[in-house]
Structure 1
Amino acid sequence: MPLDTTLRLLAKARGLTTADIATAIPRAGVATVSAWLRGDKMPGKEQLDALARTFGVPAGALLAELASTLDPARTQGEHDLLAAYRALNTRQQGALLEVATSMAGSARTRAPRTRGKPAR
């Protein structure tokens, strides 16, 4: 989930207004916090740490989605698969994991096909 969505959900869950959050964050006014909540701006490291303290969560939890989008080892297909997985309900996620695990297992146990003449 994007940072702005995470911040909005945490604010709602904690019953905090934009002004409440701005008061808790050094050098951040209401306009800046509003921009974070809209996804127009990104907070800096010190501000992220302060947001994490304000919401009572690890700073890494706020950045998990952002970090995953910056992972150079992940292909676009992996990003798409993760997004699709997150859109499913818990039962559907479990079923998808079973299918994927089964497919991965059968791919490993299948002998590779060879072309050409058989070895003698």
Structure 2
Amino acid sequence: MSELRTRPAVSLRPVDEQMLSDLIELALCDAAQVSGSVRLAYLDAESLEIGIWLGKSARARGIGSAALSLVLDEARRLGACRVLARTTLSNHGARAILVAHGATESVSGEQVTAELALS
């Protein structure tokens, strides 16, 4: 019998209650421990740039995908119409998660910009 894979339970918590109006930093928590961090920065009134960093122990466990889902929900709540994420050509894990969530990629040298339209 094949093993069912469940989505990890992750949450986002403010790092600083006095956050700047154009930058939001959140701790990414898996169960009771901090597994990484998330950053959302306004590019303009309708666009956010996001960044997700995962500790090594949190990688390849579905936490990045679950975190991206939460970040996209938060971006929608904030009224964003699109989200950009920047990574490198060699960051296959991040690129796969972004594309799986509907991102289109633009490549320039070693830099990759992923764009997600929010509905």
TM range (shorter): under 0.3
User: Which is strand-richer, 1 or 2?
Assistant: 2
Asked which structure has the greater CA Rg, the reply is 1
Q: What TM-score, normalized to structure 2?
A: 0.26
